[in-house]
Every structure is written in C-alpha cells, then in structure tokens.
A and B are shown apart, each in its own frame.
Chain A
C-alpha cells in the first residue's frame, strides 16, 4: 500500500446562485480594485488515501467527492493529485 495525497476542489455549478461570490465581488470596489468579475467561492478539501496504486486511490477520492464533499445538484468538483503525501 502507498499513500496518495489529493485535493478536492468544490465550486458552485455554473449558473447556480453564489451569494458569497457576489459579496466578495461587491467588496472589491472598497479596495479600489477594478476589472475583476465572475468571482465564485467554493471549498477545497485535502486528504490522504492509502491504496494499492494511484488509480485505486483516485477512485476513492472521486467517490468521496461525489457522495459527500459535493452536492451534485448544486456543486461541481475536481480531484487534483498533490505531489507530497503530507500527513
């Protein structure tokens, strides 16, 4: 068995209301920043998986992402392999 480190990035699906993103965007004016748009706020979950190989580990991360970390009705997710297997 080896350990593999992943990040699961979860974002509101395209076209889904994202009031947090809107609030962040709305605050940019107060900083005097211009030219920024389409801000969306999501969440990133990092995790380590013990598995025989990378494909098996990725399958576990994908299942976790689809069944728990993201709600497929409203959120999209992407699993990203991280270089270091940190604890």
Chain B
C-alpha cells in the first residue's frame, strides 16, 4: 500500500487529523518524528499544522532546521510530492521550498473559523481530484497567515500558474484586498488573496487553510477531501511509475 508520511514536530497538533485523512483516502499513513532522517519509504510527505517548536522566533523557522526537514527538502529536490498545511506551509516557506512568506494577520488577531478558497488550477498533483472549481469551505486556525511576496514575485507566480488557491467569497468571486469593503472573505489580508502556492517545479505546495480538517461530512465539511485524495492518488501514481513526469507549473 502506498505510504504517505506526516511529519511530527514538538507542537504539531494537526498530525492526527492528517493521518486520518490519508487513511480515508486509502493510503497507509506514517508518522515521521522530527528527529529522524529517513522518510521510511513514503511516496509523499505532508507537513501538518500546529505550532512546531512553539513558533519561537518566527513560525516555522526552527522546524526548518530539524533533521527530518533536511530529508524532506532533499526529497522535494528530487521531485517528491510535499504538501505543507498551515504551520506546515510556514515551515516549507521558511525552508525556501515554496516562494513567499507568511506574515502576522493584518487584523493582528489569531483566527479560527471557516473560510472559502478556490483552486486556481485543477491540473496539479494536489488538486486534480478537487474539481470542478468551486468555493471549498474549510477552517483556518492561524495568527501568521498573511501571504506576502514582493510585486515582481507575485506577478511571476500568477504568470507561471503558481498561485494554487485563492480566498473567495460564497459566490466564488476572488476575495477583496485587506481594507477594501467586503474584505471579510480574505481573513488575514493575504496579498492578491493568495491562500496557497506551488513551487516552480509543481511538486511542492502549501496552503494556510486545513483540507484535512474538512475531509468528512461529520466534521462539518468534506470540501477539503479532494485535496487530500489528489495528493494520495498522485503519490500512488508516482510510485507505480517513477518515470511519470509530474504535472509542472504552466510555462
């Protein structure tokens, strides 16, 4: 059975939800302790949410230097599939595996509530089973989720198809910028309403909202399950055919 690894740091708190989501999608979920250097034969890695190492200094930065993350970075460099969720997104951004940085929420408050996002692309290893494009309702729980990159980088990300998710309103329209009327759909003030991004090679993605916490109807929403399932099926396919090219960013 395909194995999907979930990194566990001291302070991770969504690791069990993530392990459960992977099992629901029909793969073997494997917890990877932060001090280990091997990835135990996993075909994809999820860096889950939480407060790794207490979020000291900057969210995600201490975790970046952990032994397991060095292996995850090497795995990603070889084309391995890596998904960072919430704090996991902060970790992989600090590690430079995806572009940009996550700043303090513009409203300064920690936010724990449902938001809506839409996939900008449905042809990636993380979203190919998440269609058709529609608002996906899932929770956020973060204090530092304001996506930031400079204008030139944002332009390049949009041009190259690396904006993977955006915050949208209930009707599916792109959320307004912070401070504009109706900016409520953009909870943290992320620039250009970016909720998730893809690396240039198309094999590493991060997002602030929690698809794994919206993967069963009993949780209030299963809108996130398509993302979990996309990753699991992509990992399965990659494992069965290592030569299969990953769906890359649009050129």
Does the CB pair B146–A17 fall under 8 Å? yes
Does the CB pair A73–B57 fall under 8 Å? no
Does the CB pair A19–B101 fall under 8 Å? no
CB neighbours of A82 from chain B (8 A): none
Who on chain B is nearest to A12 by CB? Answer: B103
Chain B contact residues, majority secondary structure: loop
Could you say which interface size class chain B belongs to? 10 to 19
Does the CB pair B108–A71 fall under 8 Å? no
What is the CB-to-nearest-CB distance from A2 to chain B, in angstroms, rounded to a whole number?
Answer: 27
CB neighbours of A73 from chain B (8 A): 100-101, 148-149
CB neighbours of B101 from chain A (8 A): 71, 73-74
Which residues of A in the span 4-60 have a Cβ within 8 Å of any Cβ on B?
16-17, 19-20, 23
Does the CB pair B108–A19 fall under 8 Å? yes
CB neighbours of B108 from chain A (8 A): 19-20, 23
Q: CB of B169 within 8 A of chain A? A: no
Which residues of B in the span 101-145 have a Cβ within 8 Å of any Cβ on A?
101, 103-108
Does the CB pair A68–B105 fall under 8 Å? no
Does the CB pair A71–B106 fall under 8 Å? no
Distance between Cα atoms of A24 and B105 in the complex (Å): 15
Distance between Cα atoms of A83 and B59 in the complex (Å): 32
Q: CB of A69 within 8 A of chain B? A: yes
Q: CB of B58 within 8 A of chain A? A: yes
Does the CB pair A68–B57 fall under 8 Å? yes
Does the CB pair B94–A20 fall under 8 Å? no
CB neighbours of B105 from chain A (8 A): 19
What is the CB-to-nearest-CB distance from A81 to chain B, in angstroms, rounded to a whole number?
Answer: 22
What is the CB-to-nearest-CB distance from A66 to chain B, in angstroms, rounded to a whole number?
Answer: 13
Does the CB pair A74–B148 fall under 8 Å? yes
Q: CB of B61 within 8 A of chain A? A: yes
Does the CB pair B104–A71 fall under 8 Å? no
Contact with A along B88-102 (1 / 0, CB 8 A): 000000100000110
Which residues of A in the span 56-84 have a Cβ within 8 Å of any Cβ on B?
68-69, 71, 73-74
Distance between Cα atoms of A16 and B103 in the complex (Å): 9
A interface residue numbers (CB < 8 A to B): 16-17, 19-20, 23, 68-69, 71, 73-74
